[in-house]
Amino acid sequence: MNSLVTFLIGADAPMSHPKRLHAARIAGWAGVAYLTYAAATYLDLKSGLPGVLCWLLGLAMGAPFVFAFTRPLLAWRLAFVTGIVGGWPVQMYHRTPFSWHPALLVAQFVILVAVASRYRAAVSGWAWLSMAALVTISFCPADRIPLMEIVTVLMGAGWLAYRRSAGRGRPTPSTSLDIGATL
């Protein structure tokens, strides 16, 4: 149960290295700009929703990426909520083949890998389960299993990176693999 509490309301440990933090913030903001534009234009072209609503939904769905590398648990919580809230009006119109722009799904994958690479398997398991729920709600049955296979492989790779770094004497989530280190 401790892992569920960590997943739901636990605080992310901030990145400690200033150069990595700066690069992670730049990458996060760049991702937000792209994802907001991509989601808004996709929804505007395909959903039939009013343009203002498309841009508001695009901003809401892209915004969690700002925390993807610095606070991945917070980013995932926000991405999960905006995935449901943002997908709901689109699904009501039944005009798009996809509730959000496909780039948002890739952004969710990146956030999940960041979670898996910084937290132990039990916390990552809750993230995986919440993604399974989001996929079930948002995608047609034929797409669910392949998407969850992709999520499982990516999160497994992230978790292996966490285990590898933990084996080097860096066992705490705040000092394990910083995704921003690769930026």
* Residue pLDDT, tens place only, 14-69: 666 777 888 889 999 999 999 999 989 988 888 878 899 989 988 998 999 999 99
**In sequence order, what DSSP letters do the residues of 3-65 get, joined into one string?**
HHHHHHHPPPPPP--HHHHHHHHHHHHHHHHHHHHHHHHHHHHHT---HHHHHHHHHHHHGGG
d(CA 86, CA 149): 24
Return the pLDDT at 44.
Answer: 87
Return the pLDDT at 162.
Answer: 76
Tell me which residue has tokens 């234009």: 41
Contact at 8 Å (CB) between 132 and 148? yes
Per-position b or e across 149-180, b if 16+ CB within 10 A of its CB:
eebeebbeebbebbeebbeeeeeebebbbbbb
Which H or E run includes 117? helix 102-118
* Residue pLDDT, tens place only, 44-58: 888 878 899 989 988
Average the pLDDT over each of 11-20, 65-74, 75-84 and give the range with the smallest value.
11-20
d(CA 55, CA 43): 8
CB-count burial class (<10 Å; 0-12, 13-18, 19+) for 2 = exposed
> Does the global pTM surpass 0.85?
no
Tell me which residue has tokens 């996709």: 42
Return the pLDDT at 9.
Answer: 87
Q: What is the mean pLDDT of residues 150-170?
A: 78
Average the pLDDT over each of 25-39, 95-109, 137-151 and give the range with the smallest value.
95-109
Q: What is the mean pLDDT of residues 122-139?
A: 86
